[in-house]
Amino acid sequence: MIAEATPALEREFNPWLAAEARFNNAAEKLGLDDGMRKVLKTPTREITVAIPVMLDDGRLEVFTGYRVQHSIARGPAKGGIRYAPDVTLDEVRALASWMTWKCAVANIPYGGGKGGVICDPNVMSLGELERITRRYTAAIIDFIGPEIDVPAPDMNTNEQTMAWIMDTYSMHNRQTVTAVVTGKPIDLGGSQGRTEATGRGCMIAALEALKRFNLSPSDSSVVVQGFGNVGGMAAKLMSRTGFKINTVIEYDGAVHNNHGLDILKLMQHKKETGSIIDFAEAENVDREEAMFQPCDILIPAAKENVITSQNAHRIRAKILCEGANGPCTAPADEILAANNVFVIPDILANGGGVTVSYFEWVQDRQGFFWNEELVNARLEEIMVNGFHAVTGYGEKHKVDNRTAAYMVALDRVAFAIKLRGIYA
């Protein structure tokens, strides 16, 4: 059951405070001075815009949109845009900072950005979503661009949303500018391999982790929480590689098979019924308890704050591979470390998406496109290098992987800032 909110839990669940706690921990271990800490933690720019939109029923409504550019020290800001009724500026700030650290861990030439619009896309028509997207784009148009800030899809946005943003930006610039966003349709400059990228990155990270336990995929049981683009794709690719996906958890239930689930059949079942429950080749299990069963790999790939100070002690996975952004709260980190859970932190584990977004941006700017085999090979190279950079840092400094990942990221961004100097 979800714990009742208290002031302490509200602070724990605040994504900006969680990002700050992890930042402070890594900065302390790196010995960064106060001035550099201030530069690294302070967003470069925060934009709040009003978005007036004429709804289908003739009413005029005003929505609020955000775009936060956390860092541009290593390159243009990079990060998704989410549409949700509970979007907050603190959430967008936190996600923008996570993008800075994620890009630095992957060692790709981006800073971090994030955007959001407070709306409920579930009750909006396609026409309303297009109008809100185009007006939001127009409102922030002076602050985005291939060399400034490159948005991408996130929660409740997709390649169609990106096509609208690209078109709006291009109309204002009087030329087609495909590199202004990533996550576009293939026919508008999207990249091969982008849909599978985040899930594939999780699989690559999990494969590297298995080597540390002398396990093979066929020896490994997996629990996946979330069966959307990240969790579903990770499960599909891992199953194809030989992993045994025992349990899948969704918002409305969970299914389990001791011998491993047929992921393709489960995907078809979900497509036909709208749910994973009552799958013929599995048993329904309690979704609240399914995450705490013994397994080799647990992949939380749904949302933030699912592993907390209230339940982290119940995790019985050897490896926790974070497919979602922020699935573990900061206080949960200490509990997991004390229980010897090998955590592959989000800023490493789910970096496959932004890495292939980077590939898309490169291809758009070159006007030369790669086949999927090349995309996947280059993704694997970057993910493996990132994994070993983080684990090597952890072993050198005797810290857990989360702290090591932040230390790698802060060190790289701070080094870029020192090389550039402070403009005055």
Alpha carbon distances (Å) from 322 to 14, 38, 233, 298, 301: 18, 28, 14, 8, 7
Residues 139, 239: Cα–Cα separation, whole Å: 44
Within a domain: 5: no
Backbone torsion region of residue 348, taken as left when φ is above 0, otherwise alpha when ψ lies between -120 and 50, otherwise beta: alpha
So what's the pLDDT on residue 4?
55
Residue by residue, pLDDT tens for the chain (424 residues) are 444 557 777 888 887 788 888 999 999 999 999 999 999 999 999 999 999 999 999 999 999 999 999 999 999 999 999 999 999 998 899 889 999 999 999 999 999 999 999 999 999 999 999 999 999 999 999 999 999 999 999 989 999 999 999 999 999 999 999 999 999 999 999 999 999 999 999 999 999 999 999 999 999 999 999 999 899 999 999 999 999 999 999 999 999 999 999 999 999 999 999 999 999 999 999 999 999 999 999 999 998 899 999 999 999 999 999 999 889 999 999 999 999 999 999 999 999 999 999 999 999 999 999 999 999 999 999 999 999 999 999 999 999 999 999 999 999 999 999 999 999 8
CATH number, domain containing residue 63? 3.40.50.10860
267: Cα separation from own chain's centroid: 22
For residue 357, tell me if it sits in a domain. Answer: no
Q: In what order do the strands lie in the sheet with 317-321?
A: 283-285, 253-256, 244-250, 221-225, 295-300, 317-321, 342-344
Does residue 150 contact residue 144 with C-beta atoms inside 8 Å?
A: yes
Task: Return the SS3 of 69.
Answer: strand
102 catalytically annotated: no
Q: What are phi and psi of 51, to 5 degrees?
A: -125, 90
Same domain (yes/no): 141, 239:
no
| Cα angle: 385, vertex 389, 392; to 5 degrees | 130
- Provide the pLDDT for residue 5: 58
Print the domain residue range for 202: 197-349
Place of tokens 């080597």: 211
What's the rounded Cα separation, in Å, for the pair 396 and 201? 24
Is 225 in the same domain as 321?
yes
The label of the residue with tokens 């705490």 reads: 292
Number of C-beta neighbours around residue 85 at 10 A: 12
Q: Are 226 and 317 within one domain?
A: yes
End-to-end CA distance of the chain: 53
Say whether both 109 and 161 belong to one domain. yes
Residue 62, Cβ neighbours under 10 Å: how many?
8
Reported as a single tens digit per residue, the pLDDT across 343-396 is 999 999 999 999 999 999 999 999 999 999 999 999 999 999 999 999 999 999
Report the run of H or E that residue 222 belongs to, with start and end. Answer: strand 221-225
Q: The domain that contains 286 carries what CATH number?
A: 3.40.50.720
Same-domain status, 242 and 282: yes
Q: What is the pLDDT of residue 2?
A: 44
pLDDT of residue 199: 97
Residue 82: strand pairing partners:
116
Domain end marker among 156, 181, 206: 181
176 lies in the same domain as 201: no
Residue at 92 is within a domain: yes
- Per the structure, the count of domains in the chain is 2
Question: What are the φ/ψ torsions at residue 222 (nearest 5 degrees)?
Answer: -130, 135
How many helices (DSSP H) and strands (DSSP E) are in the chain? 15, 12
Q: Of all residues in the chain, what percent are helix, strand and coil, respectively (each to 5)?
A: 50, 20, 30
Selected catalytic residue, list 102, 114, 184, 318: 114
Cα distance between residue 380 and residue 163, in whole Å? 27
DSSP letter, residue 62: E
Look at the block and give the residue holding tokens 């989410």. 82
